[in-house]
Structure 1
């Protein structure tokens, strides 16, 4: 089951983060938040593409409660994540390094089960929100780094799945926008490595209708920024 961003969701994301850091070199790539029985193996994985100077301490992941829109738990800096595999991007001199954080009982009991809840990937230096994603619905953040922004629902969720299930980006590409969120089957979660069903390389060419919708979205955002500026 695949969950693709609608044009409306894409436009919302562009409007929310038009002034912030783009998710072309760093993005949330995979996570697990719910399984059958007591939650276990809950994790968040962040992918970082080589290129610009990068300091893990400059970025963090902040969980959000969709019931009220407030933060919960502790914002985890990428410097606290485990550095995993570095995989080459086919046809490029660049590569992607995967950082993973596995929640334990001392980490506010991990990720909430929805519906909805979310995660914000934050550049703490600029400061700006790189991504504000949610599962089992969307909501507006009422405090914290994403305050006032509406989350982008990834369109897929977990419901009493196995402990090695996850939600992850699949398809071909080298940045978040190239991939599609999917439910990754039990036994196939890969915290700290390229996802099952994910290929690092040239992105698939969009269908003509998708290109037209993208152009309309971008034109609308540019026009909005011009009027506001």
Structure 2
């Protein structure tokens, strides 16, 4: 059933034939899609990525969903006026509650999974990227079509390496564990994904969220407006940005409502994560800070864990939600170490070179003076 809204224009716009992407810039690409889940397809999403070196205005772009039977557009999503930073991701989904990092909920009713179907990305009406899957579509297939999205929870079609576009759907897209809103994962199987939410919290009470790998959330302050629901997605595989210092095999993505709960510091909570391996005194609960460059990375040192047991550890005094993992001997954040190294090594080079020159000059002067005395 097609239901128009402010970001969807038509369910029957024709697709322009002819595919010549070489003459256009590739600032934004279709980076990941999951259109098929077991049972009801209620966790579908499309991920875009800005692969350029500058921010882009998404209001210039539209996403078209294409029925390969007759090459007909059955839905067009007009993107809002959002500035997407270089290297950032933008996720469109049908059901916000079942897709992490969804930026545009209710973007479409559903994504067809026939053979074939496709997705087109247009900038000011010009086709700049296309994905045809489960068969070729005239004017929409880049060289060869991508494979089918398996009817398996946690798996989808991803560009791998992340963001790489060679204009060949069959080479660029393959089946990987889903990672909506973050870099695509290299993992292709054992894609355990579990969604859970709780919408009843009271301060001072540790509340479990999840079943297989539940976390514990204990709010000291619910904020204003108050947090009412916490959504947790557990991924049973490494975070795409996990370092060797992090425990392998799982991470948690946590969000909260109201919508501004993730950006305000008005609420305070403690987070307890399950930990199957032996706990060591310097283990940390690590938070992934989005972005690139200084100040981004794994925050593993913004306060020691508040407690340990044989199976979990807790970090207190937290004010925001993100991606979380357990750090094994993590110590300070990698970013802090890199920043410290950059700040100390450069000055050392600056002052050490003149010192070496001065020492060489003194040695030469002593030798010259001694020769004069001997003569």
What TM-score comes out, normalization by structure 2 length?
0.38
What residue is the counterpart of 1:180 in the other structure? 172
- Given that 2:117 and 2:132 are in contact with CA atoms closer than 8 Å, whether structure 1 keeps it comes out as yes
Question: Residue 72 of structure 2 aligns to a residue in which SS?
Answer: coil
- Given that 2:158 and 2:184 are in contact with CA atoms closer than 8 Å, whether structure 1 keeps it comes out as yes
Consecutive unaligned residues of structure 2, counting only runs of 5 or more, are 1-17, 96-104, 188-239, 242-375
1:160 and 2:148 correspond:
no
Cα 1:52/1:108, change in 2 over 3 Å: closer
Cα distance between partner residues in 2 of 1:74 and 1:18 = 20
TM superposition shift of 1:110? 1.4
Q: Which has the higher contact order (CA 8 A, sep 6+)?
A: 1
1:98 and 2:85 correspond:
no
Segments of 4+ moved more than 6 angstroms: none
RMSD of the alignment, in Å?
3.1
1:73 and 2:75 correspond:
yes
Cα 1:155/1:130, change in 2 over 3 Å: same
Cα distance between partner residues in 1 of 2:48 and 2:132 = 15
Cα distance between partner residues in 1 of 2:91 and 2:46 = 6
What TM-score comes out, normalization by structure 1 length?
0.60
Consecutive unaligned residues of structure 1, counting only runs of 5 or more, are 1-14, 87-94, 141-148, 201-229
What residue is the counterpart of 1:137 in the other structure? 135
TM superposition shift of 1:177? 2.3
Cα distance between partner residues in 2 of 1:69 and 1:123 = 19
- Given that 2:28 and 2:50 are in contact with CA atoms closer than 8 Å, whether structure 1 keeps it comes out as yes
- Given that 2:57 and 2:82 are in contact with CA atoms closer than 8 Å, whether structure 1 keeps it comes out as no
Aligned residues: 159
What residue is the counterpart of 1:118 in the other structure? 118
- Given that 1:21 and 1:123 are in contact with CA atoms closer than 8 Å, whether structure 2 keeps it comes out as no
Cα distance between partner residues in 2 of 1:80 and 1:63 = 21
Question: Residue 161 of structure 2 aligns to a residue in which SS?
Answer: strand
- Given that 2:164 and 2:172 are in contact with CA atoms closer than 8 Å, whether structure 1 keeps it comes out as no
Greater radius of gyration (CA): 2
Cα distance between partner residues in 2 of 1:155 and 1:78 = 28
- Given that 1:80 and 1:101 are in contact with CA atoms closer than 8 Å, whether structure 2 keeps it comes out as no
